[in-house]
Structure 1
Amino acid sequence: MSTIQDIIELRHNLHQHPEISNREKQTSARISEFVQRYHPDKTIDISHTGKAFVFEGKNPGPTVMFRAELDALPILEHTDVPYSSQNSGVSHACGHDGHMSMVAGLAPFIAENRPEKGRVVLLFQPAEEVEQGARDVVESAAFTDIAPDFIFGLHNIPGIPKGEIVLRKGTFSAASKGMIIRLTGKTSHAAEPENGISPVRAIEQIIHGLSEVAENKSAFNDLALLTIVHIRMGEVTFGTTPGDAEVMVTLRAYENNDMQKMTRLAEQVVEKAAESERLQHVISYVEDFPALENDDQCVDMLEDAVRKTGLAFGYREQPFKWSEDFSYYTQKYKGGFFGLGSGTDQPQLHNPEFNFPDDILGAGMNIFQALYKMLLT
Structure 2
Amino acid sequence: MNSQTVKKIRAFRKELHQEPEVSGKEQQTSSKIKAFFEALQPDEIVEDLGPYGLGVVFKGKEKGPTTLIRAELDALPIPEVGNHRHKSKNQGVSHTCGHDGHMAIVCGVGLELAAQRPEKGKVVLIFQPSEETGLGATQVIESTNFAQIQPDFAFALHNLPGYTKNEIVLKKGAFTAASKGMTISLHGKTSHAAHPEDGLSPAEAMCKLIIALEKLPESIPDFSLVTVIHAQLGEIAFGTSPGEAQVMATLRTFDNKTMQALTNHAEKLAGLIAREQGLDYNISYCEEFEAVINDVVPWELVNDAAKELALKRKHIRTPFRWSEDFGKFASLTNSFLFGLGAGKQQPQLHEGHYDFPDEILETGVALFTAIIKKLNY
> Aligned AA for 2:61?
K
TM-score (norm 2): 0.97
| 1:268-316 C-alpha deviation (Å, 9 max, x unpaired) | 0111111111111110001000111111111111101101111101111
Cα drift, residue 79 of structure 1: 2.0
Residues 209, 247 of structure 2: 8 Å contact kept: no
What is the Cα deviation at residue 75 of structure 1?
Answer: 1.5
- 1:37 maps to which residue? 39
Cα RMSD of the aligned pairs, angstroms, is 1.2
2:104 to 90, 101, 104: 101
3-state SS of paired residue (1:318): coil
1:241-280 Cα deviation digits (max 9, x unpaired) = 1101000011011111111000000000111111111111
Q: Is the aligned partner of 1:201 residue 2:213?
A: no
Deviations 1:316-346 (A, max 9, x none): 1100000001111101111110000000110
Number of residue pairs matched by the alignment: 374
Counterpart of 1:166 (choices 166, 169, 189) is 169
Between the aligned residues of both structures, percent identity stands at: 47
| Match in the other structure for 2:240 | 240
- Could you tell me whether the CA contact under 8 Å between 2:71 and 2:102 is conserved in 1? yes
- Runs of at least 4 residues of structure 1 off by over 4 A? none
Structure 1 length-normalised TM: 0.97
Q: Distance in 2 between matches of 1:311 and 1:305?
A: 9
**2:353 corresponds to:** 353
Residue of structure 1 equivalent to 2:303? 303
Q: Does structure 1 conserve the Cα–Cα contact (< 8 Å) formed by 2:271 and 2:281?
A: yes
Residues 41 and 316 (structure 1), Cα distance of their counterparts in 2 relative to 1, 3 Å cut: same
Stretches of structure 1 that go unaligned for 5 or more consecutive residues are: none
Could you list the runs of 5+ residues in structure 2 that have no partner in the other structure? none
Q: Is the 8 A contact 1:79 1:355 kept in 2?
A: no
Q: Is the 8 A contact 1:174 1:291 kept in 2?
A: yes
Superposed displacement of residue 144, structure 1: 1.8
SS in 2 for 1:29: helix
Query: Per the alignment, in what secondary structure is the counterpart of residue 351 of structure 1?
Result: coil
Instruction: State how far apart, in whole Å, the 1-side matches of 2:211 and 2:56 are.
Output: 51
How far off its partner does 1:205 sit?
3.0
Partner in structure 2 of residue 319 of structure 1? 319
Distance apart, 1:82 and its partner CA: 1.3
Aligned positions of 1:95-244 closer than 5 A: 95-216=98-219, 219-221=220-222, 223-244=223-244
Measure, in 1, the Cα distance between the counterparts of 2:201 and 2:24.
40
Measure the CA separation in 1 of the matches of 2:304 and 2:167: 15
2:169, 2:339 within 8 Å by CA — same for their partners in 1? Answer: yes
Give CA-to-partner distance per residue, 1:219-248, whole Å, 9 cap, x none. 332x10011111101111222111010000
* Secondary structure of 1:232 counterpart: strand
